[in-house]
Amino acid sequence: MTRLQTLLEQERATFAETHPRSAAAYAAAKPHLLGGVPMTWMNLAAGGFPLYLAHAQGARVTDLDGHEYIDFALGDTGAMAGHSPPATVQAISRRAAAGITTMMPTEDAAWVGEELARRFGPPQWSFTLTATDANRWAIRIARHLTQRPKVLVNAWCYHGSVDEAFALRDGTGAVVARPGNIGAPVDLAETTRIAEFNDVEQLEQELAHGDVAVVLMEPALTNIGIVLPEPGYLEAVRRLTREHGTLLIDDETHTFSAGPGGATRAWNLEPDIVTIGKSIAGGIPVGAFGLSAELAERITGDPDADLYDTGGVGGTLAGNALSMAAARATLEHVLTDDAFEGMIERATRFTQGVQQAIDANGLPWSVSQLGARTEYRFAKPKPRNGTESAAAADRQMEDYLHTYLANRGVLITPFHNMALMCPATTDEDVDRHTELFGDALRRLT
């Protein structure tokens, strides 16, 4: 048995011993929950079973066994505003007592549209319940307007359960489904083109086919570790998409961490469409897509586009009064321009702490920061595209580090090694992580 295996087993034994109520709740759920959990990804639990939530507030969560944690997972960005921020809770309570969903708009929605326009640029917004749906509907609009069939995504991207996005290139350059992809509606080679992030030449080759309706991308990859854009790359993407008559969607669901207007504003990007979700309503389900004035005019003025009933763009609960009230309160009072300053400072401190521990232990790892989000990867130099980053994954190492931290009161996201700061995260929270991360590495080396 390797040293890593031994350490992981020790940590898992401690985890099992100290979390009997979570273990019992997990066992009790098995008969009637698929995979034993409300959503199957919740089985991604480094300790061997998921921790069950008792309550959460600010940057803290408490589990059923009464252990309190500093939470850097923050609902994988869904809780970037912190848990149950008071302004959002008050707005939700007021709204919930006075009609949660009806067939009527509320004034909150127009406020949120205007604020998203101020932050991200596109002037015309529409709402969904998830970021996945924002991407799906934006893709439909792009296909309709361009009359082209394909979507181009980056290798190892993630944009929610968007059918077109679960594709990779095989060794010959052919488009194939990602391993484990369930029930693709059609062969992905019919719907998808792939280019590596940061590879301008490959992007140009793929766009030259003239069949790509839209490039759907994150301005920095965040779902296979953080892969930052190299200088000039995003400008080249914009130039090439324009040259080839292809639209550009920036999915800001995670890159919103870059600042109050996401990477779009931080880096002066000019996408045709911005999509977002997760955090903007403080954890209440909402997603949104924003269209440039030109696209908005074209789609609303097109008599062949049914935006009202069965055109495939819309949802009964989308834009509901509760989501809109929560989004307004969160954007107005919680994820403010000022709040981002503090969040980004904390993330810089976190990143420095991780880098020092990596250096002190001589490990060939690297760490990348994207505003309020930071992530280390088991590779050095930093991966420059999704494929390089995917090759650096090490599940056992992640499980050891995550369980070590959890046993001592710190959570990072179960997907790879991401840590996110919310407005309530403190320097002391960050320093506690730095101390524990350093200890975990010393034991390893």
What is the contact surface with ligand PLP in residues (CB under 6 A)?
130-132, 135, 158-160, 218, 223, 251, 253-254, 277-278
**Helix axis angle, 131-146 to 293-300, nearest 10°:** 70
> Do 354 and 374 touch, CB atoms closer than 8 A?
yes
Q: ω into residue 381 within 30 of 0, thus cis?
A: yes
Shortest distance, position 76 Cβ to ligand PLP, whole Å: 6
Is residue 396 within 8 Å of residue 389, measured between CB atoms?
Answer: no
CA 372 – CA 230 distance, rounded (Å): 19
CB of 238 to ligand PLP, least distance (A): 19
Q: Which is nearer to ligand PLP, 144 or 254 (CB)?
A: 254
Alpha-carbon gap, residue 393 to 378, rounded angstroms: 7
Q: Which of 141, 180, 189, 142 is nearest to 161 (CA)?
A: 180
Helices (H) and strands (E) in the chain, counts: 14, 16
Smallest distance from ligand PLP to CB 253, Å:
4
Nearer to ligand PLP, 158 or 376 (CB): 158
Residue placing its CB nearer to ligand PLP in the complex, 124 or 135:
135
| C-beta closer to ligand PLP: residue 276 or 344 | 276
Q: Which residue is nearest to ligand PLP (CB)?
A: 160
Residue 130 or 198 with smaller CB distance to ligand PLP: 130
Nearer to ligand PLP, 148 or 159 (CB): 159
Give how far Cα 284 sits from Cα of 79, 257, 329, 427, 436, Å: 9, 18, 11, 27, 32
Nearer to ligand PLP, 251 or 388 (CB): 251
Kindly provide the b/e burial profile for residues 364-373, where b requires at least 16 CB atoms within 10 angstroms of the residue's own CB. Answer: ebbbbbbbbb
Strand pairing of 273-277 and 287-291?
antiparallel
Alpha-carbon distance of 366 to 25, in angstroms, equals 37
CB of 160 to ligand PLP, least distance (A): 3
- We find the least distance from the C-beta atom of residue 153 to ligand PLP, in angstroms, to be 11
Nearest approach, Cβ of 47 to ligand PLP (angstroms)?
Answer: 22
Between 385 and 407, name the residue whose CB sits nearer to ligand PLP.
385
Q: How far is the CB of 368 from ligand PLP (least distance, A)?
A: 16
- Least separation, in Å, of the C-beta of 56 and ligand PLP? 18
Half-sphere exposure of 216 (CA within 13 A, CB side): 36
Closest alpha carbon to 234 in 192, 262, 208, 193? 262
Cβ count within 10 A of residue 23? 21
